[in-house]
Structure 1
């Protein structure tokens, strides 16, 4: 699967980048998630991305999916910090 980046480039989808971003956001939020939580979140994120059935898929759609899954799992503060990372 390919991702359309902000600058229009195509890049291979990499779930480990999302996991790293979630981990960093959780650390920044002062609510570090354990590996099992991050892996379970990543699995749900991947399932949601696959259900979207777009290839290539735009980065902002992936971003919204990640935010939605974080909220669904009750990690609202982590979602806030994840979203702030997009702006930096």
Structure 2
């Protein structure tokens, strides 16, 4: 899968970058996420994006952020979500 960055560049999608940003948001919010939590969250993000973009396999950074928000919210990681939003400003 490819991702269109905010500045228009196209890169390979890298779930490790998302995992790192979620880990940082969890740390900043003083929330505990174990490796299992992170695996579930990142798998859900990646699977959701693949379902949305199954025909083109090209997503955007804006779409990725929206999916991350939705999945963190759906799974009850509200403090991580708040920190993630603050970090992204």
TM category, shorter: over 0.9
Q: Distance in 1 between matches of 2:87 and 2:73?
A: 16
Quote the residue 1:25 is aligned against. 25
Report the alpha carbon displacement of residue 43 of structure 1 after superposing the two structures with TM.
Answer: 0.8
Report the alpha carbon displacement of residue 32 of structure 1 after superposing the two structures with TM.
Answer: 2.6
Secondary structure at the residue paired with 1:49? helix
The match for 1:73 among 75, 82, 89 is: 75
Matches within 5 A, 1:47-62: 47-53=47-53, 54-62=56-64
Q: Report if aligned partners of 2:3, 2:11 keep a CA contact under 8 Å in 1.
A: yes
- Consecutive unaligned residues of structure 2, counting only runs of 5 or more, are none
Report the alpha carbon displacement of residue 84 of structure 1 after superposing the two structures with TM.
Answer: 1.7
Show CA shifts across 1:19-51 (max 9, x none).
000000000001031111001111111111011
Structure 1 length as normaliser, TM-score? 0.93
Q: What is the RMSD of the two structures over their aligned residues, measured on CA atoms?
A: 0.9
Q: Distance in 1 between matches of 2:17 and 2:32?
A: 17
Structure 2 length as normaliser, TM-score? 0.92
